[in-house]
Chain A
Amino acid sequence: KAGVTQTPRYLIKTRGQQVTLSCSPISGHRSVSWYQQTPGQGLQFLFEYFSETQRNKGNFPGRFSGRQFSNSRSEMNVSTLELGDSALYLCASSLAFEGHEQYFGPGTRLTVT
C-alpha cells in the first residue's frame, strides 16, 4: 500500500506570495492532519480534516487554511507569506477521525525569501 505523498517536496517563494501544498493520504484513510516543523517551535499542529470538514485547528493565523476533497486528498494554503513561514510542512493521515495512529508523508520544505 502506498504511503502518504506530498507535493511539491521543495518550494521557494518570496514574501507576500501565496503557496498551496498538496497531500494524498494512504488509500482508505479519511483523516488528514497538517503540521509545521521549525527548529525553534518543533512540530506544531495546524489543522485536521475528516470527511471534507475541518475538525480541529491549531493556533495559527488565518493566513493558514486548508481543505479536503471527496477523495480525502487535502491541500493547505498559506497566503501573504512571511519569512517565519519557512518550515517543513508535514501531512499525516489516519483511518478515522478518532484514529490516533497517524502516518506521515515526507513533507514539503518551504523556503520564504
Chain B
Amino acid sequence: DQQVKQNSPSLSVQEGRISILNCDYTNSMFDYFLWYKKYPAEGPTFLISISSIKDKNEDGRFTVFLNKSAKHLSLHIVPSQPGDSAVYFCAASANNQGGKLIFGQGTELSVKP
C-alpha cells in the first residue's frame, strides 16, 4: 500500500527554467510534508517542509504547494541549476506517529546546462 506516490520517476529540465516535482498521498491523517534531496551514496538532505494548516511555503528558490482536497503537493525550483540534479523524495508524517516518515519512491531530476 503506497501511501505516498511520486508518479514521475524522472524529470529533465533546462537550466534557468522551472522544475516542478509532484507527489500524491492517500492517508488523510498525514499533517506534515517534507521534501528531501538525495545524491547517490549519501543520506537525504532536508529541503523544505509544510504543515497541513498552510498551502504554501517558500525558502529561496524552493516553494512547496499543498492541496489538501486533492491530497497533492508539489515542489517548485526556480530557477533550476545543474547542481539541483539529484533524486527528490517527498515524505509525509502523521502527528500521532511522531517521527515516522513515509517516503515516496523518488523523482530523479536532471538539470541540463
Contacts and interface: CB of A to CB of B under 8 A. Distances in A.
B49 A48 contact: no
A104 B45 contact: yes
B53 interface: no
A99 B46 CA distance: 13
Nearest to B104: A42
Interface string A92-113: 1010011111111111010000
B100 A58 contact: yes
A43 B2 CA distance: 12
A103 B36 CA distance: 10
B43 A42 contact: no
Contacts of B95: 98
Contacts of A35: 101, 103
Given A33-B100, A45-B102, A48-B98, A102 B46 contact: yes
Provide the main secondary structure of the chain B interface.
mixed
Nearest to B103: A43
Range class of the A interface residue count: 20 to 34
B43 A55 contact: no
Contact of B101 (A4, A33, A98, A106): A33
A56 interface: yes
B99 A100 contact: yes
Contacts of A42: 103-106
A56 to B, nearest CB: 4
B70 interface: no
A100 B100 contact: no
Interface string B71-113: 0000000000000000001010101011111111110000000
B59 interface: no
Contact of B97 (A56, A90, A101, A103): A56
Contact of B46 (A43, A56, A90, A101): A101
Given A33-B99, A45-B101, 14 more contacts: A45-B100, A58-B100, A97-B99, A100-B49, A100-B99, A100-B101, A101-B46, A101-B49, A102-B101, A103-B46, A104-B43, A104-B46, A107-B42, A109-B41
